[in-house]
Amino acid sequence: MARIISMRKAINEAIRQCMEEDPTVILLGEDVAGGEGSPGADDAWGGDMGITKGLQPQFGKDRVMDTPISESAIMGCAVGAAASGLRPIAELMFVDFMGVCFDQIMNQAAKFRYMFGGKAQTPVVIRTQIGAGYNAAAQHSQCLYPMFAHIPGIKCVIPSSAYDTKGLLIQAVRDNDPVIFFEHKVMYDEVSDDVPKEAYAIPFGEANIVRDGGDITIVAMARMVHKAKEAAEVLAREGIECQIVDPRTISPLDEDTIIECVEETGRLIVVDEAYPRCNMGTDIAALAAREAFGALKAPIQVVSPPHVPVPFAPELEEAFIPSPEKIADAVRKTVSYGA
Partner 1 sequence: MSEERILAITVPKWGMAMEEGTVTGWHLEEGAKVAEGDDVLDVESTKIANVIEAKCDGVLRRQVAEVGTTLPVGALLGVIAPSDVEDAAIDAFVSGFVVEAVALEGEGGPAVETIDVDGRDIRYVVHGEGGEPIVLVHGFGGDMNAWMFTQDALSADRAVYSMDLPGHGGSAKDVGDGDLSVLTSAVIAVMAETGAAHVHLVGHSLGGAAALQVALDHPDKVASLTLIAPAGLGQEINGGYITGFVTAQRRKDMKPLAEQLFADTSIVTRQMVEDLLRNKRINGVDAALAAIAGAQFEGDRQLLDLASRADELDVPVQIIWGRDDRIIPVGHSGNLEGARVHIIDDAGHMPMMEKAGEVNDLILAFV
Partner 2 sequence: MASGAGMQLSRDKLLEAYRTMRTIRDFEERVHDEFEAGNLPGFVHLYAGEEASAVGVCLHLDDQDRICSTHRGHGHCIAKGCDVEGMWKELWGSSEGLCAGKGGSMHIADLSKGMMGANAIVGGGPPLAVGAAMAAKTLKTGKVAVTFTGDGGSNQGTTFESMNFASVFKLPVLFVFENNGYAETTGSGWSVACGDIVNRAPAFGMPGVQVDGFDFFAVHDAVGEAVERARAGEGPTLIEVKFGRFYGHHEGDNQSYRGPDEVEILRRDHDCLKLFRNRVTEAGLLSDSDLDAIDQETADLMDRCVEAAKNAPRPTPDQLTTDVYISY
Q: In this structure, what DSSP letter does residue 253 have?
A: B
Q: Check residue 44 for interaction with partner 1 (CB under 8 A).
A: no
**Contact set for partner 2, span 8-47 (CB under 8 A):** 30-31, 34-42, 44-45
Give the DSSP H/E element, type plus range, for residue 87: strand 87-94
Per the annotation, the verdict on 140 as an active-site residue is yes
Smaller CB separation from partner 2, 35 or 266: 35
- Residue at 282: amino acid letter: T
Task: Using the minimum distance from each CB to partner 1, give the nearer residue, 28 or 242.
Answer: 242
41 belongs to the binding site for partner 1 (CB under 8 A): no
44-73 residues in contact with partner 2 (CB under 8 A) are 44-45, 48, 66-73
Does 234 engage in binding with partner 1 (CB under 8 A)? no
Residue 66 contact partner, candidates partner 2, partner 1, none, CB within 5 to 8 A by sort of partner:
partner 2
**Amino acid (1-letter code) at residue 199:** A
Phi-psi region of 155 (alpha: psi -120 to 50; beta: other; left: phi over 0): beta
Using CB under 8 A as the binding rule, whether residue 212 contacts partner 1 is answered as yes
Looking at residue 307, its amino acid is H
- Cβ burial 217-228 (10 Å sphere, 16+ → b, else e): bbbbbbbbbbbb
Q: What are the backbone angles phi and psi of residue 131, rounded to the nearest 5°?
A: 100, 150
Given partner 2, partner 1, none, residue 281, with its beta carbon under 5 to 8 Å by kind, binds: none
Q: Among residues 246 and 273, whose Cβ is nearest to partner 1?
A: 246
Reference 171, options 117, 241, 252, 228; nearest CA is 252
Instruction: Based on the shown chain and the rule CB under 8 A, indicate whether residue 256 belongs to the binding site for partner 1.
Output: yes
> 285-324: which residues touch partner 2 (CB under 8 A)?
306-309, 311-316, 319-320
Interaction between residue 202 and partner 1 (CB under 8 A): yes
Conformation bin of residue 246: beta by default, left when phi > 0, alpha when psi is -120 to 50: beta
Nearer to partner 2, 37 or 294 (CB): 37
Half-sphere exposure for 32 (CA within 13 Å, toward CB): 30
Q: What residues are labeled active site?
A: 140
- Residues near partner 2 (CB under 8 A) are 30-31, 34-42, 44-45, 48, 66-73, 96-97, 99-100, 134-140, 306-309, 311-316, 319-320
